[in-house]
Chains A and B, each alone.
Chain A
Amino acid sequence: MAMSGVLRPGHMQLKVLDLEESIDFYTNVVGLIQTGREGDRAYFKAWDERDHHSLVLRGAGEAGMDFFGFKVTDDATLAKLEADLNAYGVTTERIPAGDLLETGERVRFEIASGHQIELYSQKTAVGTPMGDTNPPPWCAAAEQGIAPIRMDHALLYGPDIEKVQALFVDVLGFYLVEHILLEDGETDLAIWLSCSTKAHDIAFVRNEEPGKLHHTAFLLESWEKVLRAADLMSMNQVSIDMGPTRHGVTRGTTIYAFDNSGNRFETFCGGYATYPDIPPITWTWDEVGPAVFYHDRQLNPAFLDVYT
């Protein structure tokens, strides 16, 4: 199998101010499908995702990220990566199967940026509304709300991102796709890392305060659907941060907006396909504007100052 090890982002658990209001937001505005509910948590998947959930909301009275999880190939891979992490000096914790609905054991660890990251190998494949045999290309849920096809990646804010990069590359098998340099020409402001052929599966921006979330990204299929998402945001009085526009980094088209708890989310489209042998793309500090927002060519103050 050409692709093994860490496969893809599998779940994000977000803290929300009011769980019931957030269930309504993610169902009717974002257009995800609710697949479960237990206690103070609600579970969602996108219409084209097979596994039970990719987004978990936890009613917490504040915003932010609890943890971000990656699915790995199988149980043996999970055990190997756990051992590799321990050998690298990373303390890991096994979260029991069933702690997240329809999910097997998870290996959780804290990275240098202060974020809780998880690996897991088992999650019930509940399938899509189209099924796996002679499926139609889409379904009714594909037109309800913004209706992304999957949870795609996350951008996290925290310190020591060079240590984060080393861990993801040396232990978890990711590779650097793009980076933005600070004025010294050596230190990274931001890094984009992939475990697949996607232009990024996770990204980090250097930030003094640890453990912060910049955004969770949801994938759309076309620029036209990004514009449709912007229409839906205005129809529903959603707070838009930036866009619709294009990123220089990844070339993806985008809107940054905030959910009803202030967690930024992205409706993202495109981004090129890449491979581990392709040299990373470098952006210099004086071109950070177009790197992040290619048309405005400048950072808005919220890009660096507003996170949860």
Chain B
Amino acid sequence: MTAYTVTVAPEGRTFRCPDTKSILVGIEHNGGADAVQVGCRSGGCGVCRVEVLEGTYTAKRMSKAFCTDDDVAHGILLSCRAYPTSDLVVRPCPKPRDH
């Protein structure tokens, strides 16, 4: 297991996150449940959507209703489905709900 530092912009709070847990769960397990909104933790509900500003990660499948392939290609993803492979800077990027 390797751990990386994930910084949540713009406040700049930092969390040590193991590469065995998703970015979201890593943040949440280190007392950051208020830094990124926690939803289903399973790639379906969309509330933990973030933009990765710096760093690398691997991403598992996530709902296309919230992250299109183009979003993912531009570093916009659900933090519950991405695993850090370097230090990261992320910014919460919730998608407005359709009404």
- Residue A79 lies at the interface, judged by CB distance under 8 Å to chain B: no
Number of A-B contacts (CB under 8 A): 69
Interface pair A263/B63, CB less than 8 Å apart:
no
Interface positions, chain A 256-305, Cβ under 8 Å from B, are: 258-264, 301-302, 305
How close is B46's CB to chain A, nearest CB, in angstroms? 8
Residues of A within 8 A of B99 (CB): 208-209
By size class, the interface of chain B is 10 to 19
Cα A258 to Cα B66 with chains together (Å): 17
By size class, the interface of chain A is 20 to 34
How close is B29's CB to chain A, nearest CB, in angstroms? 12
Residues of B within 8 A of A125 (CB): none
A selection of 30 A-B contacts at a CB cut-off of 8 Å is: A17-B43, A17-B44, A17-B61, A18-B61, A61-B61, A61-B64, A62-B44, A62-B64, A63-B44, A63-B63, A63-B65, A208-B97, A208-B99, A209-B97, A239-B42, A258-B40, A258-B42, A258-B44, A261-B43, A262-B39, A262-B42, A262-B43, A262-B44, A263-B40, A263-B44, A302-B38, A302-B39, A305-B37, A306-B40, A307-B45
Given contact pairs A17-B62, A301-B37, enumerate 17 new A-B contacts (beta carbons under 8 Å): A17-B43, A18-B61, A63-B43, A63-B44, A63-B45, A209-B97, A209-B98, A239-B41, A258-B41, A261-B44, A262-B42, A262-B43, A262-B45, A264-B40, A302-B38, A308-B44, A308-B45
User: A: which residues have CB within 8 A of B?
Assistant: 17-18, 61-64, 208-209, 239, 241, 258-264, 301-302, 305-308
